[in-house]
Chains A and B, each alone.
Chain A
Amino acid sequence: MRLGLRGQERLRLAFIYILCAIVLIWALAPIYWVFVSSISTRKELYARPYKIWFPSQPSFESYQTIFTQGAKFRAGGFSPTADLMGAGLRNSIIISVGAAGIVTLLATGAGYAFARMRFPGRNLIFLLIMFMLPLPIWVSLIALFFLMSQLELIDTLLGLILIFVTLLLPLAVWMMTTFVRDIPAEIQDAARVDGANRWRLVYSIILPLARPGMVAVFLVSMLSTWNNFLIPLIFTRSNDSQPLTIVLTLFIGQYEVAWEDMSAAAVVTMLPPFIMALFFQRYLVRGLTMGAVK
């Protein structure tokens, strides 16, 4: 049997969409399942064999529970974690927005310097910043822990923000350097001739043009900070500073905590990255691939 040209094209598309369905199931099924778990009633979720792929009566009770009472134990009663979620959410927001804001400012100023100015030590400083990237973090973390104890910055939001700003610097500086370099030099040369000093130049010429780069740096930094686990694992002790990634593992640690509550906590923890990934993916990909993809 021979297919016409349109028939062939239709067959090709059908084949492609089947493959797309497989890819999307692979990528999204675990996320879908944890969401379903978080809005299921205990009875349906713990049915064996499980065969309900969407709850008959979806409810957001688990979300309410984890924010008001802490997580339920499977045997009944509540874990002593009542204010962990609220505090975790607050801490995650403060840390990720704070670190991203500061690193964006620092990287923009430095990015301009590396891209457009000649000065002694330029290559050395740039290399020192970039060499952090592949450095296994433990080399610094061990002594940094004792340094932070001496500075009394353990278990503080300020301490976390400072560490994250430092760790984000290589990526942020690199992004801004390449971004400023791609702004045509003629534009600023004209301003120089007019006698503008560096501050005026950066503020009124570079900043407006570099805004997309700054947005990308901010979003990538916020995402990495929000998602980070190791740093708060080492440098936090209590809900004064524990972000959501830590709170989630505390729930998991409480062996008997109900799965629907842990699922709700997991959904809350991944919701901001999820939304950012849906709406700002272009910016994030540019940053996270370090310019390997334009």
Chain B
Amino acid sequence: MRRPTSDSLYLVIVLAPIVLLIALFIYYPALDTFGQSLTNRNLRIRRPPQAVGADNYLKLVNDAEFWEVTGRSFQVVLMTLPMEMVVAFSIAMLLNQRFPGRGVVRTLAILPWMLPGVVNGFLWGWLLNGEYGALNGLLYQFGLISEYQVWLRAPEHQVFWVTVVQTWTRYAFPTIILLAGLQSIPDDLFDAAKVDGANALSRVRFITFPLLLPSFGIALVVEFIAAFQIFDVVWTLTAGSSAGGSINPFTKTLMLYNYELVFRDLRVGLGAALSYLILLMSLAVGMIFVLRVYNQGVQDA
């Protein structure tokens, strides 16, 4: 059967702008970035960039700062994910109960997720402010501290608070995923376990957890990507960077490092190489995600 011409015309008109946009704005620049990663392009130095092969990559992997920043990114991921999952699982268990007003609580409980990351960083920065912050006010009022604390002073505290704010920003997503998982577990299973004399704790351990594993899987993949690419929250919470200023080294993660290399230091070649190292590091996790989405979008059709 021949395809009617109106069909071909429809496909061209509908798909051409999309293909053009992603080709021009995503894939062509991605290739170009790779090309630049093989040069010593630096906008501070007035000379035509030369091809330097894999020098930039070697320079990065031999650079202590690269490993420090990479380590910090994984540290943020490793601190954020457990905190997030505990918060999300607890709230999902609560919202899975039947009680009047559940819808309202659910709506309000997932609100922070929908706010801009830079605002969230600002909110917490102000909350934790050492001079006038509400946390100091609250703790002082209840007599838990005898004088105001500068919560964001010590480097390790800064990283800790970054993960707290990232958790606050993102916990709603795993909560929703886990809640949907919980609601798909048939009540019969729990009833049967009750009859067999299983207590609440072992019901969670032997029924809820195993059946929630797929939901935890999705949530962990998505939240890994989110935490690994953290940027906005750090920017307003601890980066301490007005335009042109230097970026606080104690909470510098890979994305901030990349921004600094390219747009502060103007070392384009080196920054391009870094972006490809980041791509390599997140590829495995990313592929799991794409395949899942692909299977749902096209294969089942």
Residue B268 interfacial (CB < 8 Å): yes
Residue B185 interfacial (CB < 8 Å): no
Pairs A–B under 8 Å by Cβ, sample size 24: A29-B127, A50-B132, A106-B18, A113-B11, A113-B15, A134-B290, A137-B229, A139-B275, A142-B33, A142-B268, A142-B275, A143-B30, A147-B24, A147-B28, A181-B300, A202-B10, A227-B117, A248-B236, A253-B242, A262-B126, A277-B113, A289-B176, A292-B177, A292-B218
- In the complex, the answer to whether B141 meets A51 with C-beta atoms within 8 Å is yes
Question: Which of B4, B123, B271 has the most CB atoms of chain A within a 10 A radius of its CB?
Answer: B123
Residue B249 interfacial (CB < 8 Å): no
The residue from A20, A134, A230, A245 contacting B94, defined by CB atoms under 8 A apart: A20
Stretch of B55-63, B186-194, B197-205, B276-284 contacting A (4+ beta carbons < 8 Å): B276-284
Bound CA–CA A44/B258 (angstroms): 41
- In the complex, the answer to whether B278 meets A229 with C-beta atoms within 8 Å is no
- In the complex, the answer to whether B111 meets A277 with C-beta atoms within 8 Å is yes
A167-205 interface (Cβ within 8 A of B): 169, 173-174, 177-178, 181, 197-199, 202
Given contacts A33-B134, A270-B119, contact A138 B275 (CB under 8 A): yes
Stretch of A62-70, A83-91, A115-123, A207-215 contacting B (4+ beta carbons < 8 Å): A115-123
Residue B250 interfacial (CB < 8 Å): no
Which B residues are CB-close (under 8 A) to A60? none
Residue B289 interfacial (CB < 8 Å): yes
Bound CA–CA A137/B124 (angstroms): 26
- In the complex, the answer to whether B17 meets A130 with C-beta atoms within 8 Å is no
A139-173 near B? 1/0 per residue, CB < 8 Å: 11111111100000000000000110110010001
Residue B211 interfacial (CB < 8 Å): no
- In the complex, the answer to whether B236 meets A162 with C-beta atoms within 8 Å is no
Which B residues are CB-close (under 8 A) to A266? 119, 122-123
The residue from A30, A46, A138, A269 contacting B255, defined by CB atoms under 8 A apart: A138
Residue A94 interfacial (CB < 8 Å): no
- In the complex, the answer to whether B301 meets A270 with C-beta atoms within 8 Å is no
- In the complex, the answer to whether B127 meets A129 with C-beta atoms within 8 Å is no
- In the complex, the answer to whether B30 meets A290 with C-beta atoms within 8 Å is no
Beyond the given A129-B22, A227-B116, could you list 7 further A-B residue pairs with CB under 8 A, ordered by the A residue number? A20-B101, A27-B109, A49-B136, A142-B272, A174-B293, A198-B6, A250-B242
Residue B14 interfacial (CB < 8 Å): yes
Which B residues are CB-close (under 8 A) to A129? 18, 22
Residue B45 interfacial (CB < 8 Å): no
The residue from B94, B99, B218 contacting A13, defined by CB atoms under 8 A apart: B99
- In the complex, the answer to whether B296 meets A178 with C-beta atoms within 8 Å is yes
Which size class do B's interface residues fall under?
35 or more
Residue A241 interfacial (CB < 8 Å): no
Report A220 CB to chain B, min CB distance, Å. Answer: 10
Which B residues are CB-close (under 8 A) to A273? 114-116
Report B140 CB to chain A, min CB distance, Å. Answer: 5
Chain B: CB-nearest residue to A24: B108
- In the complex, the answer to whether A142 meets B262 with C-beta atoms within 8 Å is yes
Which A residues are CB-close (under 8 A) to B173? 288-289
Residue B27 interfacial (CB < 8 Å): yes
- In the complex, the answer to whether B282 meets A136 with C-beta atoms within 8 Å is yes
Bound CA–CA A37/B117 (angstroms): 19
Residues of chain A touching chain B, judged by Cβ–Cβ distance below 8 Å, are: 13, 16-17, 19-20, 23-24, 26-31, 33-34, 37, 45-46, 48-51, 106, 109-110, 112-115, 117, 119, 122-123, 125-147, 162-163, 165-166, 169, 173-174, 177-178, 181, 197-199, 202, 223, 226-230, 233-234, 245, 248-250, 252-255, 259, 262-263, 266, 269-270, 273-274, 276-278, 281, 284-285, 288-294
- In the complex, the answer to whether A109 meets B116 with C-beta atoms within 8 Å is no
Which A residues are CB-close (under 8 A) to B107? 277-278, 281
B9-39 near A? 1/0 per residue, CB < 8 Å: 0110111011101101111111111101000
- In the complex, the answer to whether A142 meets B271 with C-beta atoms within 8 Å is yes
Bound CA–CA A248/B34 (angstroms): 33
Residue B196 interfacial (CB < 8 Å): no
B95-119 interface (Cβ within 8 A of A): 97, 99, 101, 105, 107-119
Which B residues are CB-close (under 8 A) to A46? 132
Report B242 CB to chain A, min CB distance, Å. Answer: 3
B228-256 near A? 1/0 per residue, CB < 8 Å: 01011001100001110100000000010
Report A46 CB to chain B, min CB distance, Å. Answer: 5
Report A23 CB to chain B, min CB distance, Å. Answer: 5
- In the complex, the answer to whether A140 meets B33 with C-beta atoms within 8 Å is yes
Question: Which of B30, B97, B268, B278 has the most CB atoms of chain A within a 10 A radius of its CB?
Answer: B30
Bound CA–CA A23/B301 (angstroms): 40
Report B261 CB to chain A, min CB distance, Å. Answer: 9
The residue from A16, A229, A278, A284 contacting B231, defined by CB atoms under 8 A apart: A229
- In the complex, the answer to whether B94 meets A16 with C-beta atoms within 8 Å is yes
Which A residues are CB-close (under 8 A) to B119? 245, 248, 266, 269-270
- In the complex, the answer to whether B29 meets A136 with C-beta atoms within 8 Å is no
Bound CA–CA A207/B52 (angstroms): 53
- In the complex, the answer to whether A292 meets B180 with C-beta atoms within 8 Å is yes
Given contacts A169-B18, A178-B296, contact A255 B124 (CB under 8 A): no
Chain B: CB-nearest residue to A137: B229
Which B residues are CB-close (under 8 A) to A284? 114
Given contacts A255-B242, A273-B115, contact A140 B18 (CB under 8 A): no
Residue B148 interfacial (CB < 8 Å): yes
